[in-house]
Amino acid sequence: MTPRLLIAAASLAFAACSLDINNPNAATEETVVSSAAGLRAVAIGLQGRFGNSLAEAVWIPGLMGGELGTTNSSLSQHREFQRFPDASANTPRIEPVNSDLLNFWSRHYLVVRSADDVLQNLSKVTLSPATASAMSGLAKGMKGYALGTLAEAWQQIPVDITGTQSRYVSRTEALTTVLSLLQSAQQDLAALPSAEFNTQVLVTGLDLSNTVRLWRARFSLAAGQFQAALTEANAVPLNAASEFRYSTTDQNPLWAAFTASRYFGAIASFRTGAETGDSRVNRYTGATTLSAFGGAALNPLAIFAAGGEAFPLISQDELALIRAEAIVRGNLTGDPLTHINAVRVRAGLGIRSTTDLPNQTALLDEILKQRQYSLISTGARWADLRRFGRIVQARAAWLPYPDSERANNPNTPPDP
C-alpha cells in the first residue's frame, strides 16, 4: 500500500459525504416563488411586513409635524426628528445614519419587495383565477400604500426596485404610480370572491377592499385629484372597519413605544388648545406631564392600552374629513359642513354652521383642526401641514436620504 493509494481510497470514501446541505431554518428563493403554496406564504409575509412598517410611519411624521415629542434625550434616533426646541442652535441634524430613518425607508421598501415577489411570480404558478386576482390586489394595494407613504416623507423616491440601483422619480410621478396601483388593486379585488384567499392568505381583521379605497382617497387628495378622493371616500360604507391585528406575543410596536416605554408623548398644546368638551383629548392623551427633551411639555399618549391591541386602518373621521376637504378644494357638489359636523358630533362637540365657517379659508382651517384631533399619531399631521401650506411649522419639509441608500445608489438625489 502506498500513500497515493490511500489518498485515493480516502477520496473515494469521502466522496459520499455531500457538501450541499439544505438550510432547515429557511426556505430558498427557488422553492418559494415557484410554487402556489410558496407564493401564498409570501403574500402572508407581505402583510406581516406591512404591519412592521406602521410604527415609523407614525412617529417620524408625528415628530416632524410637531404633534409628538421625545422623552429620552439619549435616543438620538428619535430625538433628531423632533421639532423642539425649534430655531435653536441645539436642534440636532437628522443624521443620514439615523437608524429610524433607515427603518422608515427600508421597511416600506420591504413591503414593496414582497409585493413584487407576488406580482412577478403569480403567472408562473398554478392558482385559481379568483385567488390569483385577489393576491394581485393585495400586493398592488400594499405596494401602492407603501410607495404613497414614502412619497409623503421624501421629495423623490424610487418606484421600480427591480434593479439594484433604482431610478428616482418626482413626487408627482410617484403619486401617479401609487394611484394607478391602487386603482388596479381595486379592479383585481372586485373580480371574483376567493374563499381560498380569504381563509388562507388574508389576515383576520383586514377589510382589504375598503382599506384600499381609503388609501386611494388619501393619496388622491395628496395628488390634487379631488373628485377621485371624494368618490373613493364615499364608496367606503359608514360601518366599514379594518385593522391590523397584533397579539400578546407579537405586540403592537406603537403600544410599546407610546404606552410601555413612553418614548414619545403628545405636545401639551394638543390638550391646552382643544375646544372645551372635545372627547378626543382624553381618549388619546393622559393629563400627566412627561419630561421631554428640549423643554417641550408632553402628555402621555393613551391610544393603545394593551400590547395586543390592533392598529386601526380605517378611520371614519378621516373619510369624512377627506370628503369635506375634497369638496372644498375641488369646488365639488356636496356640503362640507355635513362631513365636518359628523366628526364634531362624534367628538362630543357642537355643530358648525355656514355662519361659523363662511368661506373656504375658514372651512379648511376647521378641517385641519379636526384632522389634528381625530388623526393624532396616525402619521397624517406632517402631510397635512404640507397640503395646507403650513409646512413652515414642521421640523422640515422632507427627510434626508438614508446613508446606506446614498452610498450604494448613485441615483440618490441631494438632500433637501
For other proteins, the closer of residues 256 and 368 by Cβ is 256
Report in angstroms how near the CB of residue 319 gets to other proteins at its nearest.
23
DSSP structural state of residue 242 = -
Calculate helix-pair angle for 208-222, 226-235, nearest 10 degrees.
160
**Residue 308: which residues within 8 A CB-CB, separation 6 or more?**
246, 247, 248, 251, 252
Distance CA 288, CA 182 (A): 42
Report in angstroms how near the CB of residue 318 gets to other proteins at its nearest.
22
Report in angstroms how near the CB of residue 215 gets to other proteins at its nearest.
18
Report in angstroms how near the CB of residue 78 gets to other proteins at its nearest.
14
For other proteins, the closer of residues 244 and 284 by Cβ is 244
Q: Are 366 and 357 in contact (CB under 8 A)?
A: yes
For other proteins, the closer of residues 52 and 269 by Cβ is 52
For other proteins, the closer of residues 111 and 266 by Cβ is 111
For other proteins, the closer of residues 245 and 271 by Cβ is 245
Q: Which long-range contacts (CB under 8 A, 24 or more apart) does 232-235 make?
A: 233/319, 233/320, 233/322, 233/323, 233/326, 234/323
HSE-CB at 300 with a 13 A cutoff on CA atoms is: 16
For other proteins, the closer of residues 167 and 390 by Cβ is 167
Find where cell 392598529 sits: 311
Report in angstroms how near the CB of residue 117 gets to other proteins at its nearest.
7
Cα 134 to Cα 41, 50, 140, 219, 308: the distances in Å are: 14, 17, 10, 22, 28
Report in angstroms how near the CB of residue 92 gets to other proteins at its nearest.
11
DSSP structural state of residue 79 = H
Report in angstroms how near the CB of residue 341 gets to other proteins at its nearest.
35
Distance CA 197, CA 32 (A): 18
Name which of 182, 215, 147, 201 is nearest 39 in CA terms.
201
For other proteins, the closer of residues 253 and 402 by Cβ is 402
